[in-house]
Chains A and B, each alone.
Chain A
């Protein structure tokens, strides 16, 4: 770790500190300064750390990204943005890490529900936030969380009161408009007892719409912006509550993306996560779930890597109490020179008897230069448990290809169909129609389905 780089960011900190939200709150000031100190000490994680051994983030250190302090909502074309909004959802738009009220759609919220920007929440609901902010994601965990705690400019705050079921989903749209900026956001989602909610996180950049041209890596170089996204979301699912979180990450081709979701589930709580990692030059997802008594969590993921993309998914499920159930399925398709990383860790604490945990990771390598590194881990300290994990790395099943060929499908189409089907299993799990179509569109851009009848999809 080059401490000099850490201090390059740290040195700039005083210049922007005053503009960060929540400066009047002593507890937050304290949290930020502790995090800053931690970050100055250790900087961004290095591949020498076990949890980061396959992901080298030194690119972020070399580039010095700066926060975008001015609100630049004017740059955003509302019509273009509408295409990315989920129909029938409350949408909170963050442009370069700052809330834009004119672009957001937050009308008609049921009474008692809070959906607002983090900066507003710190102004109006600071007491409510205090026990939650920083309690699911400790800045001591690693450099990115510390960085996020010190630098965050805004984010999403959701509070769903008990016994309220939100029928419409909440979408938070992260948009980056310029090059070399960093957007650092911290979100907190609280779903109180027996409440239900669906939240969609979307990450896009104005310029960096994925270019479908597979050949010629540099043909789009003039368009794609390099920038840094560091988003941390802390989620609290209380007694018997239910939360479904979708994340669609299609950042620009040159972007660095760190997205961490840290979930604490209380007794009987249910949490489902669908993670679609498509964009970015280098992206890393952290999903840490702490499970309470008899709670359930389901983590689904799909990562598609092409060109020189590096996609790292890091999940950690802690069974802290008895009778909890966890299910995890991550699938990866890697083409070009892409590298996929999956690290899945399941920890079963001493008291967590009757735990039932299953983890699966399946990878498809499509080209000679693609690589996958996978590390599923089981750490078990209780005896009355059922835990299993499985990993496969390989190519398409020759028998299946032959089967299709014997039905007059040419080989290339057969391969396309099977690759698509492999990925589509994850897409089909999405229960929100308009989101499903958007994700499907992204999959099809990356793996074109020539000869496949789109009507079937």
Chain B
């Protein structure tokens, strides 16, 4: 896990590495959004009839909504008619049956990103679903997972092959009426991952989805649904990157998790969308709705996120603790530099008895960035003996940035114990001096201190990601010291 200072130093001096563009022939819809586009989208994806109806219902609802403006972020209004809602690499009629049939250029792109689509590669313990623009291009280790009874496939495939599961669970945690971006997503989502872990199964390997935006002028609308049935266990990772472009691109995803009795879901994100350049030009708008429903008793959902990319991050991975004794956890590192803006946090809704939640949020703000923690802890009357502990710390690097904390605590149950603590400070001069006195350069010292500041969160990440996350932090802080 330890990354030597030299390595970080090397990384600090790099540009946004995944910022390349892959030249491909694509099937892309012309920009614009109306019911015809949704009809066409549904047809291209060969979806069952109920899905089309669901999409249209969501679209009609979306049209009645206004873009929300309560978040602590600033951006020009998005022109939804200027976005193309579908872009997929051209492929043969039947779709690729094996890796050999995938466009070598796509394989090349993933190789460059360090994501092995080849099952013999080094990260053999991780099954990957690779989503390229609007479609999933490959899913590895399908066979091995199938043997364990685990369903891990693109959601568009699940729509065709497991419609009964989709019907039962899609939109049951984040309904299409939930918010503006959730409604938009429900109308136009193109792909994402679907995971179903049957009763009593411990998923034999880490599952992972890698999202890549490649095409210009498109939006990526990803939809992920994970269902962990009674007594099952799954750990899921997602990663994301995009090319460097001057215009902003929209990524509006919805992630739904359902945990049944005694089930455990661990969901980790390393988000590294293109953050825009030093002057705040370009970058991805990452407007995401993530929510988990701990439906069963003793279920547990743990969110871990490392947010280093995106021009604007606006997301609140939440837990609805319905089942008695269920547990929700949220560990977050959000780093903003240059002109990045992040408004992120979590919601913990305590409904069942003896439910507990833990929130650890670490915000780091550098350059001219604004970093906001916004969280809600709500204890309903039914949640006897609910317990929450929240800690959110902010670190400021530079005198032009902002760090904000907006926690909301609503308690209707006298036996609940809710604690919230927040601190904001800069890196202490004493710490810096101490490190420098022992021969570290200022930048190394800052990297070290920042990594230490985030340690509690990194500890929660799966091993492979922890290394990547530490490296990313060093990378994103580039130029903010001294």
Contacts and interface: CB of A to CB of B under 8 A. Distances in A.
B75 interface: no
B278 interface: no
B98 to A, nearest CB: 54
A317 interface: no
B401 A393 contact: no
Contact of B407 (A376, A381, A392): A376
Interface in B395-421: 396-421
Contacts of A410: none
Given A378-B405, A380-B403, A383-B397, A395 B414 contact: yes
Interface string A318-334: 00000000000000000
Contacts of A350: 399-400
Contacts of B401: 381, 383
A373 B408 contact: yes
Interface residues of A, number: 34
Nearest to A53: B408
Contacts of A388: 421-424
Contacts of B418: 391-394
Given A385-B396, A388-B424, A375 B407 contact: yes
A355 to B, nearest CB: 10
Please indicate which of the listed interface residues B396, B399, B414, B416 has the most CB atoms of chain A within 10 Å of its own CB.
B414
What secondary structure prevails in chain B residues at the interface with A?
Answer: strand
Contacts of B400: 350
B4 interface: no
Contacts of A363: 411
A115 interface: no
B10 interface: no
B291 to A, nearest CB: 21
Contact of A387 (B70, B399, B424): B424
Contacts of A395: 414-415, 417
Given A365-B411, A380-B394, A391-B420, A353 B399 contact: yes
Nearest to A374: B409
Interface in B420-436: 420-426
A373 B422 contact: no
B381 interface: yes
A388 B399 CA distance: 18
B398 A383 contact: yes
A368 B405 contact: no
Contacts of A394: 416-418
B415 A375 contact: no
A443 to B, nearest CB: 20
A285 B407 CA distance: 20
Given A353-B399, A391-B419, A393-B416, A378 B404 contact: yes
A393 B409 contact: yes
A437 interface: no
A377 B375 CA distance: 11
Nearest to A391: B420
Given A377-B405, A391-B419, A383 B426 contact: yes
A375 B409 contact: yes
B420 A392 contact: yes
Interface string B92-132: 00000000000000000000000000000000000000000
A375 B409 CA distance: 6
Given A353-B399, A391-B418, A380 B404 contact: yes
Contacts of A50: 70
Given A386-B425, A391-B420, A392-B419, A380 B411 contact: no
Contacts of B425: 385-387
A370 B394 CA distance: 32
A390 B414 contact: no
Nearest to A54: B410
Contacts of A450: none
Contacts of A365: 411, 413-414, 416
A316 interface: no
Nearest to B390: A391
B406 A377 contact: yes
A378 B414 contact: no
A366 interface: yes
Interface in A243-289: none
A392 B409 CA distance: 9
5 contacts: A372-B409, A373-B411, A387-B423, A387-B425, A389-B421
Shortest beta-carbon contacts, A-B, top 9:
A365-B414, A383-B396, A391-B420, A378-B405, A393-B418, A387-B424, A394-B417, A388-B423, A393-B411
Given A366-B414, A386-B424, 8 more contacts: A368-B413, A370-B414, A380-B402, A382-B396, A389-B405, A389-B421, A391-B420, A393-B411
